[in-house]
Amino acid sequence: MSSAGVRAVAGRVWRGTVAHVPRDPFRVGPEALEGWADGAIAVDAGGRIVEVGAWREVRARHPSATVEDRRGAWLLPGFVDAHVHYPQVGVLGGLGLRLLEWLEARTWPHEARFADAGFARAEARRFLGLLARNGTTTALVFGAHQAVAMEAFFHEAAASGLRITAGLTVGDVGLPDALRTTPELAYAEAAFLARRWHGRGRLRYAVTPRFSVSSSEALLAACGAVVREVPGVWATSHLNETPEEIAVVRSRFPGAADYLATYEAAGLVGPRSVFAHDVHPTDAELARLAAAGAVVAHCPTSNHALGSGLFPLARHLSAGVRVALGTDVGAGASLSVCGEATAAYAGQMLLGTEGAPLGVAHLLWWATAAGARALGLDGRVGDLRPGRDADLVALRPPPGSTLEAALAHAADLPSALATLIALAREEAVEATWVAGAPVWERPGAA
Ligand code: GUN
Ligand code: ZN
């Protein structure tokens, strides 16, 4: 309803099986999940949601709206990926390496190729297209080390229509020559890109030191200066991913109390900071992350593939740390946020009594609204309440697929949704919209 109490006019109504999680299930429990087997989402001409509910009721109130008929498909809020690397699609699927070996042997040589502007632009277009094809409408993207590649990336991100927060990745020690910068150059390039792109349309800038392993104190300080000087920018990095990495940080920063302190000293820890992994935090770090309002991006398929460990979710929750979900491609298994939610669930089960019990409301919350909150976009996207932008994904079981067979036997809407999250991957994404406009449509669908 508008402030005058008059319902806005919907130009279009989406019809399908609708579900969202408008409230935090970690606080309110499974009732946080809302869904309608024959549901509808009414959207105004500006791409804003006017109403969500049962088809018959919504349709009766908007009888002349054009119908986007997606019966047989699920309509969910667009997925939010809180940690994914643009220059790493080409290293997906590596086996047999732990983090530091994987970076040296596989990842850094590939990331060096992004010095070629043409290659970088083509890869950026491909990467962003794949996000949309996976149902992701909002992402915090770890960038390339080359300013020319990030300029190309932001151009492509603007054209994609997606909500993208990203930045130049920087590091000045322990990296191959092709990726190494200096504190002065890192400051100049990041400040230039941040001033040029932050706040343009749906784009925002994130100051991005790769991790403290590849940073001098001066480089982190340069990153902190950009955060201070360009209002509203974000900061992102990696934190406490593996014991080997933590040992390197300890020896390189002997004056720091712990890993988080290396970022704190540079002014990089606050409510617009997102740290990937945090598999091995101390209690003191968790308390400080919570006090700062910083976010941890949980990246389970990456943690499992690199053998980094099982995420201590219960400790994050009891400390009050905000947690979102990231695919962490290319160490992660895929660009599917549903795949990540499924792996997060399995990881907690493997922790036994130390694991946090997760239900379907938690998984959909993590894939959507938790990410939106983590990226400061709550109130705008993440759920389907009136006033939100219509960022949507339609998931349809491919004919003859295991997903189709499993859904045929689902007892009720929550169990069907659990099956959907467990099995729906890229092939099931029929269409993706941002603010009501298509950013991906499977050829031949609709
Ligand atoms: N730490 C520093 N760089 C990376 C990266 O590219 N992937 C992961 N998983 N961890 C990192
Ligand atoms: Zn990462």
Peptide bond into 93 cis (omega under 30): no
Q: How far away, in angstroms, is 421 Cα from ligand 1 center?
A: 26
- The CATH architecture assigned to 79-350 reads Alpha-Beta Barrel (3.20)
Ligand 1 site, residue 83, Cβ cutoff 6 A: no
Peptide bond into 307 cis (omega under 30): no
Say how far apart CA 294 and CA 210 lie, in whole Å: 17
Say how far apart CA 413 and CA 408 lie, in whole Å: 12
CA 351-357-358 angle, 5° bins: 115
Ligand 1 site, residue 85, Cβ cutoff 6 A: yes
Instruction: Give the CA dihedral 173, 175, 176, 179, nearest 10 degrees.
Output: -90
Instruction: Tell me the best of 110, 241, 304 to mutate to test the pocket of ligand 1, counting ligand atoms within 8 Å of each CB and taking the most.
Output: 241
Instruction: Give the CA dihedral 203, 205, 209, 210, nearest 10 degrees.
Output: 0
Exposed, middle or buried by CB within 10 Å (0-12, 13-18, 19+), for 45? Answer: exposed
**For ligand 1, atom 5, which residue shows the shortest CA distance?**
103
Q: What is the CATH number of domain 12-78+382-441?
A: 2.30.40.10
Say how far apart CA 171 and CA 181 lie, in whole Å: 6
Say how far apart CA 89 and CA 34 lie, in whole Å: 34
Say how far apart CA 59 and CA 56 lie, in whole Å: 5
Atom of ligand 1 nearest to the CA of 142: 6
In the chain, the N- to C-terminal Cα span, in Å, equals 30
Q: Same CATH topology for 12-78+382-441 and 79-350?
A: no
Ligand 1 site, residue 107, Cβ cutoff 6 A: yes
What residue spans define the domains of the chain? 12-78+382-441, 79-350
CA 36-14-401 angle, 5° bins: 70
Residue at 379: amino acid letter = G
Cα torsion angle, 59, 61, 66, 68, sign: negative
Tell me if 55 sits within 8 A of 73, measured CB to CB. no
Q: Quote the tokens at residue 431.
A: 């269409």
**For ligand 1, atom 7, which residue shows the shortest CA distance?**
331
Beta-carbon neighbours within 5 Å of ion ligand 2: 276, 328
Digits of tens for pLDDT over the chain (446 positions)?
A: 444 445 678 899 999 999 999 999 999 999 999 999 999 999 999 999 999 999 999 999 999 999 999 999 999 999 999 999 999 999 999 999 999 999 999 999 999 999 999 999 999 999 999 999 999 999 999 999 999 999 999 999 999 999 999 999 999 999 999 999 999 999 999 999 999 999 999 999 999 999 999 999 999 999 999 999 999 999 999 999 999 999 999 999 999 999 999 999 999 999 999 999 999 999 999 999 999 999 999 999 999 999 999 999 999 999 999 999 999 999 999 999 999 999 999 999 999 999 999 999 999 999 999 999 999 999 999 999 999 999 999 999 999 999 999 999 999 999 999 999 999 999 999 999 999 999 999 998 76
Say how far apart CA 269 and CA 288 lie, in whole Å: 9
Tell me if 373 sits within 8 A of 323, measured CB to CB. no
